[in-house]
Amino acid sequence: MAFNYFMQDDFANAEKTFNKLTESDDKSTQASGYRRLAAVSLSRGRIEEAKERIRRALELDKSVERAPRYAEGDHRLFLAYLERLSGRLPEALKEAELACGSPEGPPLTYVQRMYLRALITLEMNRFEEFEKQAGEIKKYLDPDRSPDIPPKFMRLYYNLLGHRELQKADYQEAIRYFWKALDLISVFSSNSVDGDHAKYFYDLAEAYRLRRDGIPDEPARSMYEKVVLPTISRMSSGDLYARSFYWMGHFWEHSTSNPGSPAPAQERRIKAIENYRKFLDLWKDADPIFTEVEDAKARLARLEAQAGSLASR
């Protein structure tokens, strides 16, 4: 039930239920509760709060004798992601390194740690080191070395290459690699929730958007729409979920001045308003480091004023 609350953006009830886990007598269950609470914080843009919660999970990991040996690595992976979001790249890299030093666990889990370490290294402009790490990931995923790892996991390697091209502002090449990664994702099933798929759609959307000087076009919008599908898990990507509504708001706002759009301008304006409202509903209490919040407020106020003016004519 708690997961359903979370996926329905009912954060108040999700937190109540996850908090019950933290009150358990079992420390492993407590750690799981704090990890889930951190996911709620991420979805609300409250990164510092999420860090506090995941650090509590890490403290509990140390005191649990029978916890999965890879639990600490998974929690450090999430902390690395949070540090990266808050712009603390050296701290993020440190946590990613610690995550990679933990016992491997399931193949996808471990290669995700390697992936994030390489991505942070790239964002720190340590290109030679990045190429080495990307090569290690490719080798790790080689079917001759690891026949038990499905070929679809090679999507992490191609996604990294897309980020490399994005860093070089070669948007067409980035799009090509991001599509190669996306092509390795399984066909969607309405009965399953995919845990790592959000970033593949979001990264491709960003490449399309940046190709247009930061203005989302139709291909970008279609990818942002996939990020918010109910079949996409948000336990590790609530930030991408929220920001997708922000950028869809941008798409519909800019399309109001596009005479070639099939929808009437007023209908497009309404869609922009709906998406900005949804974004602000999710991130109304987000940390101040996220400039999108104030920008969305200003854009929403302007669009609502325009809609009111047109309605009064």
Which residues, at least 6 apart from 284, have a Cβ–Cβ distance to it below 8 Å?
293
Q: What does the pLDDT read at residue 189?
A: 38
Nearest C-alpha neighbor of 45 from the set 180, 239, 251: 239
What pTM was computed for the model?
Answer: 0.92
Interatomic CA distance for residues 29 and 13, integer angstroms: 18
Structural domains present in the chain: 1-67 (1.25.40.10)
Q: What is the pLDDT of residue 144?
A: 82
CB 213 within 8 A of CB 178: no
CA distance to 84, 88, 212, 227, per residue, from 204 (Å): 19, 24, 13, 11
Provide the pLDDT for residue 186.
64
Tens digits of pLDDT across the chain (313 residues): 778 899 999 999 999 999 999 999 999 999 999 999 999 999 999 999 999 999 999 999 888 765 556 688 999 999 999 999 999 999 999 999 999 987 666 767 888 999 999 999 999 999 999 999 999 999 999 888 878 888 889 999 999 999 999 999 999 999 999 999 999 986 443 334 446 799 999 999 999 999 999 999 999 999 999 999 988 888 999 999 999 999 999 999 998 666 555 567 888 999 999 999 999 999 999 999 999 999 999 999 999 998 766 655 5
